[in-house]
Amino acid sequence: MGGLLSLRDKTALEWNQIYKNMSWQLTNNQMLEPVKRILLLSFYDLWYHLKHCFLYCCMFPEDYLIHRKQLIRLWVAEGFVEETGKITMEEVAEEYLKELIHRNILQVVETNEFGRLKTCRMHDIVREVALSISEEEKFCMTNNELQARQNGKVRRMSIYSSGEINHSSAGTTHLRSLMVFDGNMSFSSSLNTMASSFRLLRVLNLRGIPIESIPDEVTNMFNLRYLNLRESKVRELPESLWKLQNLQTLDVRNTELERLPSGNVKLRKLRHLFIYRITDRTYNSFDYYKSIQVAIRICNLTSLQSRYDIDDKEVEIVRKVGNLTQLRSLGISKVREIDGVELCNSIGKMKHLLKLVVFASSEEETLQLEALSTNPPPLLQKLCLNGRLE
């Protein structure tokens, strides 16, 4: 890069032109050929599944902070990860992620209090190489690329800026992933057409998109495994949600939802359910955390692993939650003093639990959790209690 820039005028305009044209430079400038060759060597040295995981990262916008847990769930939904023995697909995917970081293909940006990866990103140059490979292999493209080149099948698409998706294009009928990152995009009118055109869709990421409802037609996407509506303005979900029998992740955090459709109890493959809302971003008030109403029968979904947030409005749910023995993370609110012992018995059955969040029903209510000491979750790492303790 130093050699390339030394041949140009030392002005912001000139250098900016090179920066914006990086992809073309990597492909056509002989001086940068060694750079691309070294990066390609790293790519071709990856084994099959890791290549797909690597290319998937270029679907995120430039300099985007990629969250570890989100990326892992996306890889699982895409089918890039296989379960190995007693190790879950999420745990296998985390090993994939560590391998990409170890090879410096992804950069660590932020770690949590345990020193564990929280966010990462792809270096601009590496991303340009990934985009060029993706285009050659028809792995993914952005909406701008799709508008420029409508030939061939498109399997994955990211939308960074407002634009129309050409649903009638023959290429988009094979779409497996659709990621939307433009928070100003009006998407409601497109969803009905999408549902009939994108029948093979596995991943639908509409985080932060200002839509208020999801049409019933979306539940005809039988292959859908990942549905992210986080921080959208969605007020209700279709009652026919149960038809998404392959759904693994449902994320409706910080939306306008008040309840989940009762049919969600039939989603037998659901692994990750996020249904809470933060009402006070300062976290100073007692009720900064609000759960969404769900049916008691949700406790029959024994495949649930990741955070599951429930509202303890019925005594029965405290006992039934013990059925969720595969949980890694549990959040429960509106807990009453009289339910303490029963709740501890349920939590004691969760041998894989890593995180526990318990909210009392009011500031005056005492959390009775002493019984947990007789049979605590052996792997527990994080504990958050909101309420009065004796």
Which H or E run includes 26?
helix 22-28
The domain locations on the chain are: 2-121, 140-250, 275-390
Which pLDDT tens digit goes with each residue over 93-121? Answer: 999 999 999 988 899 999 988 888 999 99
Predicted confidence at residue 170, as pLDDT, reads: 46
Closest by alpha carbon to 70, among 232, 243, 306?
306
Q: Can you give the pLDDT at residue 173? A: 75
Which single residue is written with the structure tokens 């005056």? Answer: 364
- State the residue for tokens 């140009």: 8
**pTM for this predicted structure:** 0.86
Report CA-CA distances (Å) from 37 to 45, 56, 121, 124, 155: 12, 20, 21, 16, 26
pLDDT at 188: 57
What per-residue confidence (pLDDT) applies to 148?
46
Q: What is the pLDDT of residue 98?
A: 94
Q: What is the pLDDT of residues 131-146, one digit of tens each?
A: 888 888 889 987 655 5
pLDDT at residue 163, rounded to an integer: 55
Residue 7 pLDDT: 72
Enumerate residue ranges in the chain where pLDDT < 70: 1, 4, 21-32, 143-152, 162-172, 185-190, 192, 195, 295-296, 307-315
| Alpha-carbon distance values, 32 to 106, 206, 227 (Å) | 21, 37, 40
Q: What pLDDT is recorded for position 46?
A: 86
Nearest 5°: phi and psi at 8?
-110, 160
CA distance 280 to 283: 5
CATH of 140-250, picked from 1.10.620.20, 3.80.10.10, 3.40.710.10, 3.40.50.2300, is 3.80.10.10
